[in-house]
Structure 1
Amino acid sequence: MAGSRSSLRGGVRRGLAGIAVPPAVKLSRQADARAAAGDAAGAEPLYAQALAADPTLAGTHNNRGNALRALGRLDEAAAAYRAAVLHGLHEGMAHYNLGSVLRQAERQDEAEAAFRQALALRPDHAEAWNNCGNLLRDLGRFGGAAVDYRRALALRPDWADAHDNLGAVLYLLHEQGGEEDAAALARLWRRDHPDNPLARHIGAAIAGEEADPRAPDDYVRQTFDLFADEFDRKLAELDYRAPALLAGLLSDEEPAGDLDVLDAGCGTGLCAEALRPYARRLVGVDLSDGMLNRARARGLYDGLHEAELVGFLATHRLAFDLVMAADVFCYFGVLDDALAAACAALRPGGRLAFTVEALDPADGRPHRVATHGRYAHAEAYIRTAVANAGLMLRRCDRDRLRFESGEPVTGLVVLAGRPAG
């Protein structure tokens, strides 16, 4: 019996028909195993040896291209993908791989031709439509990019990245003078994806249609989950000042370190360093788990909660001495519920500090959602809403929150308090 098992294993090594595996194929398979283990540096020489033995292995050319791309050898990767096509790999994926590496190498015209060939061979490849859209966006062809993103979403309706890409390119199209085209495409986006939070909110803003009283929770969560890893870097590039401005409102008071403090919509924890000296207990709340993971890494919070803000405040009545909300209420149009909940969560004498984007008084409306999805508020509305919530307004300053597209964004920096009596 032992001899029979040994003979069977030997037969498997030679293949079912008893034909030995060619050396080039063996080398290619060894390279595939290394590539699958994440060892591109070890795989690439084996692919090269395999192709030296048999240059007609189209799939091996393609896989070598993948390894070369992982190693940053982009021109060589492009040559490998072209060799794969030359030797008969006439399928969409080879052309898609070629387009992707050419885009990475900033060879845009060649990349677009490769993507179009990939899509001609495989029109159901959502990733190819999305990446072709990315290429057109790089080239400033925003309308064409939007069309390609829509094609990707027709194939993968729930793909968050493609929705985010479409919203971003419609914003760019609108800001670069294509308001009518952007509005028309935004209306189609809303029509085709009525349950998607980005389509519902950003689509309405760009189309100039009636927006919700506040940004949908799913929109906020999805936006910041996607943005979490680059959030701090992006805001630094925009000279984001809201946390520092809010800290300035508190600077005339000695940080006794005995307050219960809530960082409302804490994000990655940019306010934590300023708040920590005031707090015996510092708590953060945010909708985005991705943002909370970054905040947790700072090690400055006593507790972090993934929750919707108004609901969280409503279940923590009289729990805090200070609530800070840096650029959080810009995701609310109507502020009544949020400010009332904040007042209820404050102890007598407690303070609420927050920022909003300032709406030009000439607009005439209390609040308005802009094409980037954030609401701006009129100062008169803020003053009225604060009073209606049972809070006393202590400061309402105008200052620059950040830059956007090279232009300063003016905001209102507000300090209010719950009466002590």
Structure 2
Amino acid sequence: MAGSRLSLRGGLRAGALPPAVRLSRQADALAADGDPAAAVPLYARALAADPTLAGTHNNHGNALRALGRLDEAAAAYRAAIAHGLDEGMAHYNLGSVLRQAERRVEAEDAFRQALALRPDHAEAWNNRGNLWRDLDRFGEAAACYRRALALRPEWADAHDNFGAVLYLLHEQGGTEEAAELARRWRRDHPGNPLARHIGAAIAGEEADSRAPDDYVRQTFDLFAEEFDRKLAELDYRAPALLAGLLTGEKAEGSLDVLDAGCGTGLCAAALRPRARRLVGVDLSDGMLERARARGLYDELHAAELVGFLAGAPGAFDLVMAADVFCYFGVLDEAFAAARTALRPGGRLAFTVEELTPGDDRPHRVATHGRYAHAEAYVRAALAGAGFELRRCDHDRLRFESGEPVMGLVVLAERSAS
């Protein structure tokens, strides 16, 4: 989060402003227009003329931080405080840039001071939580995020941070602590989709039959900007595995193809040569924006998948769903809708995470919020929806926390009847 910018106020006419104040205001205008590089030398000239301008030191710090000059920004914030700007926001700005510079002990001192001066500052609690998370002190981080959410109950970023740190706390071995915090999260925020879904998963409580649409939309809107990079780091293979599954299938550009849950469009390159018409559908506008930038789709739709499929009878020859049905526990409705959208002989290609062998449940939701499915259940659900199974491969979809995530890579055909 960018630092707060302070305004210089006073009753002087513009022509009567002291030179330092005039320069500072010119720099503020440049910074506000998104040109910190031009603002910095003007701030420096203003402060050379009058080093007591505390607000100018603060705004100088913001411009330096925007340029990545973090140590200089920290020095500017300290100067602002030393010259009288001893209030919560100045210490918050200092803590934020120190955390960014990985000067974590100093950052904690700054956040502590910021919150002593302004205990109702949700952003400071959230960023202090981020600092504790950096240090793998997940319990302290969770406490900070809870405080942020008590102050700003609808803040999506803080909910996302809280859910992520509960997952990390659980994975670190703090199972009971994470479960108790998750139960409180659900109690305190019953209408929040992340609290409802991830909270249930971590608390070990009964989950919905599928992830709530609001949860999926919120999660991927927040994740969209870094989605492709993160999946590359996890060696994400689902699109490539599904493309391999289709080797030998018709690929002369004659098919009407749906990329179901298309995300940022990672499957588009493999699907485009097969398609006379390539359609993508996803809940997340943020993901669709990046899919659109690929320039490979004929149509993109922001819609809930089952409703979209059910509303397009006989529209497609191929439906591909890479890591989409892992947000469904019960698959019957989704498979039935896919059959509706396919023409006779049409293909459904998809991946799901595979339930741990020995678990006798048909599916379960894991602490990260995705469902895993038993192979026998997937086979039965496909048959019940009117599909004939053509292939069901077992393969690694990606890594998670350094461990392979195994999945089912499935190709099914809609029966003619």
Classify 1:14/1:139 alpha carbon distance in 2 versus 1 (closer, same or farther; 3 Å).
closer
2:334 matched residue in structure 1: 338
Describe the superposition over 1:20-72 as per-residue Cα deviations: whole angstroms up to 9, x where unpaired.
43222222222222222222222222222222222222111111111221222
1:79 and 2:105 aligned: no
Question: Does 2:180 match 1:177?
Answer: no
Distance in 2, matches of 1:49 and 1:257, equals 63
Alignment deviations for residues 133-153 of structure 1 (CA, whole Å, 9 cap, x no partner): 111100111111111111111
Partner of 1:262: 258
Letter in 2 for 1:317: P
Residue 361 of structure 1 aligns to a residue whose secondary structure is coil
Give the counterpart of 2:232 among 217, 231, 236.
Answer: 236
Measured in 1, the distance between the counterparts of 2:276 and 2:20 equals 68
Q: Secondary structure at the match of 2:72?
A: helix
**Which of these residues, 170, 180, 186, is aligned with residue 182 of structure 2?**
186
Q: 1:225 aligns with which of 221, 226, 240?
A: 221
Do structure 1's residue 296 and structure 2's residue 283 form an aligned pair? no
Q: Deviations over 1:151-177 (max 9, x none)?
A: 111111111111111111111110011
Shift of 1:420: 2.5
Distance 1:206 1:73 in 2: 40
Amino acid at match of 1:45: P
For residues 341-399 of structure 1, the C-alpha deviation after alignment (integer angstroms, 9 at most, x for no partner) is: 11111111111111100002311100000000000000110111111111111111111
After TM superposition, the score normalised by the length of structure 1 is 0.94
Query: Residue 15 of structure 1 aligns to which amino acid in structure 2?
Result: L
Query: In structure 2, what residue type is equivalent to 1:171?
Result: Y
Count of matched residue pairs: 408
Secondary structure of 2:80 counterpart: helix
Task: Name the structure 2 match of 1:25.
Answer: 21
SS of 2:358 mapped into structure 1? helix
Instruction: Name which of 375, 398, 401 aligns with 2:394.
Output: 398
Q: Does 1:15 align with 2:51?
A: no
* Cα deviation 1:50-105 (Å, max 9, x = unaligned): 22222222111111111221222211211111111111111101100110111111
* Pairwise CA distance, 1:122: 0.6
**SS of residue matched to 2:28:** helix
Matches within 5 A, 1:153-164: 153-164=149-160
The aligned counterpart of 2:133 is 137
Instruction: Describe the superposition over 1:113-136 as per-residue Cα deviations: whole angstroms up to 9, x where unpaired.
Output: 101100110111111111111111
Structure 2 CA distance for aligned equivalents of residues 366 and 335 of structure 1? 10
Deviations 1:284-336 (A, max 9, x none): 11111111111111111111111101001111111111111110000000001
User: Tell me, what secondary structure is at the counterpart of 1:412?
Assistant: strand
AA at the equivalent of 2:108: E
In structure 2, the partner of 1:287 is 283
Other-structure match for 2:359: 363
| Match in the other structure for 1:213 | 209
Match of residue 100 from structure 2: 104
Aligned with residue 204 of structure 1, among 178, 200, 205: 200
**Paired position in structure 2 for 1:382:** 378
Structure 1 residues 150-159 or 71-80, which shifts more? 71-80
Q: Where do 1:26-105 residues align within 5 Å?
A: 26-105=22-101
SS at match of 1:362: coil
| TM norm structure 2 | 0.95
Q: Against the structure 1 CA distance between its residues 53 and 396, is the aligned structure 2 distance closer, same or farther, given a 3 Å change threshold? A: same
Distance in structure 2 (CA, Å) of the matches to 1:83 and 1:418: 70
Distance 2:294 2:68 in 1: 33
State how far apart, in whole Å, the 1-side matches of 2:65 and 2:350 are. Answer: 47
Residues 303-314 of structure 1 aligned to structure 2 (within 5 Å)? 303-314=299-310
Overall identity of the aligned pairs, in %: 83
- CA distance in 2: counterparts of 1:407 and 1:257, whole angstroms: 38
- Which residue in the other structure is 2:113 paired with? 117
Q: How far apart are 1:405 and its partner, in Å?
A: 1.1
Structure 1 CA distance, aligned partners of 2:336 and 2:248? Answer: 26
Q: Taking structure 1 as reference, are residues 14 and 215 closer, same or farther at Cα in structure 2, changes over 3 Å only?
A: closer
4+ residue runs of structure 1 moved beyond 6 angstroms?
Answer: none
User: Does structure 2 retain, via aligned residues, the 8 Å contact 1:282–1:302?
Assistant: yes
Greater mean alpha carbon deviation, residues 54-63 or residues 200-209: 54-63
Deviation at 1:278, TM superposition (A): 1.7
